[in-house]
Amino acid sequence: MTVDQAVGHNTLRGIALKIVSVAVFVSMQTSIKAAGDVPAGQIVFFRSFFAIFPIIAFLAFKGQLGTAFTTKRPFNHIARGIVGVGAMGLGFFALTRLPLPEAITLNYAQPLLVVVFSSVFLGETIRVYRWSAVAVGLVGVLIISWPELTLLNSDEALDDQEVLGVMAALIAAAISAVAMLLVRNLVQTEKTATIVLWFSSTASVLALFTLPFGWQALTPMQAALLVMAGFCGGLGQILMTAAYRHAEASVVAPFEYTSMILGVLVGYFVFGDVTSLNTLIGGVIVVAAGIFIIWRERQLGLERTRTRRAAPPQG
């Protein structure tokens, strides 16, 4: 096998792993939605605690368990956990109140907001191309949200729940974007396994603090679905990490949007959700904007690499 063939083989493997990870994460969301109206804090606990088991099993298999939890930055991990739990809780709240395709598609606002927050909080230089893509993408988010946001004055409880779901999904995307900035800081010194284990552990403990606020007794089916959601979350994390190890992020990342197709299919066949025209049109706009941002990041990365290679040696 030539070097080019090996690289191509690894790239295809990375893409395949990414698509499988997306399918597993959609299975996690499907399990949570199928469990019904369960308090968000309770869902966060099951999703975080039972995710730890497949992660630990994988690390033990790789012989990396002994050092996986070791860190010199515990407070950074805890801060990331607090922010991540907020995003997760609001995301699960939205998931239980919105059609599955809509809940999945609204989450696509997160990478757009990462660009905005990178400029505001980190001082990164964002040029007109990416700002334009963010603006177009946010128009897509508005198109998806518009039917619910125009029902703000409605007296119908069902409509009110959907309005709350949309608002929760958008706030979750914003908080999740902040969490991504914290992760970007952590990856400079921490191993992926350390970040994942610390987050799952921190989230499990933090979720327990919501216990006095109305956890409910679960039926055996609800408990099984939430445990399955946790295992899917852990497995999805492992598969996603492996995908980025086999191929460049700019190649793998666009396949995140296959979750929209899966969400439409699962929503229709499992929950009887008929995807609205607004969700389809807005979703396509948001996906296009997201892919453009990923492509632009790749181009800038290539330019920086060429500049470094062309620079004369120092000294």
Q: pLDDT tens digits for 268-314? A: 999 998 888 999 999 999 999 988 888 887 777 667 667 766 666 55
Residue pair 80/199 in contact by the 8 Å Cβ criterion: yes
Say if residue 90's pLDDT is above 60.
yes
Closest CA to 300 of 138, 180, 135, 127: 127
- The verdict on residue 98 lying in a domain is yes
d(CA 61, CA 210): 34
Residue 277 inside a domain? The answer is yes
> Residue 68 domain-assigned?
yes
Average pLDDT over residues 24-30: 96
The pTM for the full model equals: 0.84
Domain count, the chain: 1
Structural domain including 100 reads: 9-310
Would residue 59 count as lying in a domain?
yes
State the amino acid at position 212 in one-letter form: P
Residues 6+ apart with CB under 8 A from 193: 55, 59, 64, 68
Task: With respect to residue 315, please indicate whether it lies within any of the assigned structural domains.
Answer: no
Q: Which token pair is 105?
A: 């598609």
Q: Would 253 be classed as within a structural domain?
A: yes
Lookup: tokens for 297? 């990041």
**Mean predicted lDDT score pLDDT of the chain:** 86
Whole-number pLDDT of residue 5:
44
Range among 122-126, 258-262, 295-299 with highest mean pLDDT value: 258-262
d(CA 299, CA 124): 16
Q: Is residue 105 part of a domain?
A: yes
How many angstroms separate the CA atoms of 80 and 95, rounded?
Answer: 22
Lowest mean pLDDT, pick from 12-16, 42-46, 73-77, 158-162: 158-162
Alpha-carbon gap, residue 256 to 13, rounded angstroms: 15
Q: Which residue has the tokens 């933090």?
A: 206
Contact 79, 199 (CB under 8 A): no
Tell which residue, 177, 179, 232, has the closest CA to residue 203: 179
Structure tokens at 181: 């900035």
- For residues 249 and 236, give the distance between their C-alpha atoms in angstroms, rounded to a whole number: 16
- Give the N- to C-terminal CA distance of the chain in Å, as an integer: 40
Contacts of 22 (CB under 8 A, 6+ apart): 236, 255, 256, 258, 259, 262
Residue 186 lies in a domain: yes
Specify whether the CB–CB gap between 257 and 287 falls below 8 A. yes
